[in-house]
Structure 1
Amino acid sequence: LTARWPVEIESIALVGHSMGGLIARSACYVAAQDDRPWVQQVRQVVSLGSPHLGAPLEQAVHYVSAALAALPETRAVSGLLRRRSAGIRDLNQGSLVDEEWRDRDPDALRAAACNEVPLLDGVMYFFVSATITRSPRHPLGRLLGDGMVLVPSASGRNRTRMIGFREEDGMHLAPANHFTMLNHESVYEKLLGWLTSATPESAGKPPNPPADPGRHELES
């Protein structure tokens, strides 16, 4: 896309909802490892309700399928559950690269591997979390989050893991569910502020040359 863009690209902002946030981080990491030119243009990455530390539904299915496999009467049901895709399995702990699963049994109870993939230097990362309750401290909000992703996972930090997001670069939406943030005025306003005021200088990047009419920004 960047190679065929009709004008020179000045910057790229990646915005991903749910698994899309994991895909954006994974794509940036792989592109950086392969020295692909487009990744040098990335300035901001925004994740909306992304399960950076995993999603409870996939974690539950992972353990339930193992339990069902132990009994002959329920083994067929376990087999159906274990046909879920590799992408869904990535939601167990927020896995981002194929190497995390290589030479491992994905159905083993402790098979959900997760190596911490570093964030790109000089890129600003933002996140949005949500709870179905007005307060994220409400017991139900802590338990269910936005209905699919818990706040610690969306913000990339819990008691044992921290992927590197800054707390001040996040937004919490409440009360809201996992899909509310896709079309919410407050999220739009926050996105607009993040993508227009966050500068490469503040993220450690050298300043861009002055813009001219032939330059363009690409947001996806």
Structure 2
Amino acid sequence: MAQLQATDLRGVARLATQATVSISRVAEGVHQSVLGTMGLQGGEKPGSTRGLTGLVYQSIRGVTRLVDAGLQAGLSRLEPFFATDEGDGTTAVRWERQAVIAALNGVMGDRLHHDGNPLCTHMGWYQRGLPLNTRALADTGSAPGKVLVLVHGLCMNDLQWRHDGHDHGEHLARELGYTPVYLRYNTGLHTSDNGAALSAALDALVAAWPVPVTEIAVVAHSMGGLVARSACHHAASAAAAGRAGKAEAANPVSAAAGTWLPLLRHLVFLGTPHHGAPLERAGQWVHVLLGSSAYSRPFARLARLRSAGITDLRYGHVLNADWEGRDRFRKEPDRRTPVPLPSRVACHAVAATLASRRSLAAETLVGDGLVPLNSALGVHDDPARTLVFARSRQAVFYGMGHLAMLGDAAVARQLVRWLAPPAPKT
């Protein structure tokens, strides 16, 4: 209980309500599957029963929703009487709570967002686990014009950039004089939605920075790389619309959108699934297999619980057009619109493989345990989809897993070499 905040109680109560409703639907679906084998008709909707049986299931869900409404109202009135201070961001209790919430948002963050659940994570800038305070940076004079943005991956948060006692943000601050700022966001939302929000957040960050920003570098891990690419696309599109005079005519505020992109000098991808991750495709097959039998079909609802962010990892979506108007749970071929790397930006790719250097076949098949090597390097069978990283801006690390690259000293040295300013000409 020491880890819970007042709003967590409302969030957990809402989840319990949704779980009860979902389980009742699964149970009703199994019930109707059995009745169907006897030739008995079901209700108006697929997987529903009729008559007294249908009334019982409807009553269960109706009473559950009434209980939820009462709990939400009662707990909301009690919240002001409980402390909401989350501490200094360094305690193990805070770290564990945030890790659980990050995982929950990764799995079902779109549902939390849609329901207004207090456990939903909202995008924001953080340092040392606390919201970024640009006024404090100005007062201490600790904000140079070099800004390092760190974007975490699926089911993670800003605190988890510290891995095995190492933080790439702190390391690059010491070595190269960057000020690191850490993005926290709901990884269960579509990557394109997060990309649009990140672009807007970067515009606001540049505007609020205590001194003129001279350089931005982005280091993104896993899904964070897709979000960063999407943000670049949104910024470039907004800038192009502004140049054409469309932004001013439609909305004067949007004319300033995308102003951060010309300041972006480096974009580093750490194990980003540019062309998808096999584990999401495995989840898709679970959905297909469960739906192949009348008895197991009701349980396919469970496979549909995975978030929009997770299903976007099937092929590596970065645009709204990649998913809009489509059933994201339906198995279909890759229909993404190719999106190249941003122009005039030094883009770097770090890929890892659990295999040894001598196992070429193994490194291709195994990857880092989550992301295949070619996907992390942007390589695709279709040349139009291949992301072109210069040879000098690719690094492959052997005997390393997906999370290990966050705390590896060799990866840290590579980041310093890439982001260091060029040596002056003599």
Q: TM-score range by the shorter chain?
A: 0.7 to 0.9
Question: Which whole-Å deviations, capped at 9, do the CAs of 1:64-118 have from their partners, x for residues lacking one?
Answer: 2122112122223321111211111110011101121111121221065311112
Q: Could you tell me which residue of structure 1 aligns to residue 320 of structure 2?
A: 98
Contact 1:95 1:113 in 2 (8 A): no
Aligned residues: 199
Q: Could you tell me which residue of structure 2 aligns to residue 89 of structure 1?
A: 311
Cα shift at 1:196 = 1.1
Q: Could you tell me which residue of structure 1 aligns to residue 395 of structure 2?
A: 171
What are the residue-to-residue correspondences of 1:98-137 with 2, within 5 Å?
A: 98-110=320-332, 112-135=334-357, 137=359
Q: Could you tell me which residue of structure 1 aligns to residue 407 of structure 2?
A: 183
Contact 1:82 1:107 in 2 (8 A): yes
Structure with higher helix content: 2
**2-structure distance, mates of 1:198, 1:24:** 24
Contact 1:130 1:151 in 2 (8 A): yes
Of the three residues 192, 199, 221, the one matched with 1:17 is: 221
Q: Could you tell me which residue of structure 2 aligns to residue 205 of structure 1?
A: none
| Worse overlay, 186-195 or 110-119 | 110-119
Of the three residues 65, 69, 75, the one matched with 2:297 is: 75
Q: 1:136 to 1:89 in 2, by over 3 A?
A: farther
Cα shift at 1:136 = 7.0
Which amino acid is 1:157 matched to? V
Q: 1:17 to 1:103 in 2, by over 3 A?
A: same
**1-structure distance, mates of 2:277, 2:294:** 28
Q: 1:154 to 1:146 in 2, by over 3 A?
A: same
Which amino acid is 1:12 matched to? I
Which amino acid is 1:192 matched to? V
**1-structure distance, mates of 2:279, 2:341:** 26
Q: What percentage of residue pairs aligned between the two structures are identical?
A: 37
**1-structure distance, mates of 2:264, 2:291:** 44
Task: Provide structure 2 residue ranges, at least 5 long, that are not aligned to the other structure.
Answer: 1-204, 240-257
What are the residue-to-residue correspondences of 1:53-68 with 2, within 5 Å?
A: 53-68=275-290
**2-structure distance, mates of 1:41, 1:186:** 27
Contact 2:355 2:398 in 1 (8 A): yes
Question: Which whole-Å deviations, capped at 9, do the CAs of 1:33-83 have from their partners, x for residues lacking one?
Answer: 112101111111100001001000001111221221121222233211112
Which amino acid is 2:301 matched to? G
Task: Provide structure 1 residue ranges, at least 5 long, that are not aligned to the other structure.
Answer: 200-220
Contact 1:69 1:79 in 2 (8 A): no
Q: 1:152 to 1:136 in 2, by over 3 A?
A: farther
Once superposed, which parts of structure 1, at least 4 consecutive aligned residues long, lie more than 6 Å away?
A: none
Q: Could you tell me which residue of structure 2 aligns to residue 158 of structure 1?
A: 380
Task: Calculate the TM-score normalised by the size of structure 1.
Answer: 0.85
**2-structure distance, mates of 1:85, 1:182:** 24
**1-structure distance, mates of 2:294, 2:280:** 23
**1-structure distance, mates of 2:412, 2:301:** 42
Q: Could you tell me which residue of structure 2 aligns to residue 216 of structure 1?
A: none
Which amino acid is 2:259 matched to? P
Task: Calculate the TM-score normalised by the size of structure 2.
Answer: 0.45
Alpha-carbon RMSD across the aligned residues, in angstroms, is 1.7
**2-structure distance, mates of 1:102, 1:141:** 34
